[in-house]
Chains A and B, each alone.
Chain A
Amino acid sequence: QEQLVQSGAEVKRPGASVKVSCKASGYTFTSYYIHWMRQAPGQGLEWMGKINPSVGSINYSEKFQGRVTMSRDTSTSTVHMELSSLRSEDTAVYFCARVPQRAAVVFDIWGQGTLVTVSS
């Protein structure tokens, strides 16, 4: 069964960093791009960036450039997303998602989401 399983919920203080992991299973990890999105409470979805697990190339949304770091570990089929200098507006559910092997950059498999709460 193809799936992405994310790490558990986090509570962080403003100014801290958070690292969320996303472990792939049931498919060839290096064959599919992984993207990260987030969803603030009651809000829509916001794209953060993408990583190519095969070669490690990365593209970030300009909004998060300088604050976000994405990485991958091919030995464990896991991608990571670290967000630094957290503020209350970063409180959201963070999702990783896979792009299928077709031209359309859409997301066919999603992680279950990781709630990150930023609060003093």
Chain B
Amino acid sequence: RKEVEQDPGPFNVPEGATVAFNCTYSNSASQSFFWYRQDCRKEPKLLMSVYSSGNEDGRFTAQLNRASQYISLLIRDSKLSDSATYLCVVTDTGGFKTIFGAGTRLFVKA
């Protein structure tokens, strides 16, 4: 089993759609969780940290379920500019070991 697993994708959605990405992690001692987005041939950029209580930033909502070792990202009212690969990232205590999921590709169409 991979340490961090994501939906295989790609997701093809129309503008305005709501899309949800799921991610599971295997290490129950994992401490910090993030969603990054990566555009083609660019570096990953931090989208949002994922807090235990869940958090929202505009159209983006992240949830963490420690019991199920599950993280999600919800994008509402998708824009063309949301097209990218979304990476689920998990780190251990102290941030010394970071595991990236394989990423889920999102295509938003007009």
Q: State whether these chains interact.
A: no
Interface residues of B (CB under 8 A from A): none
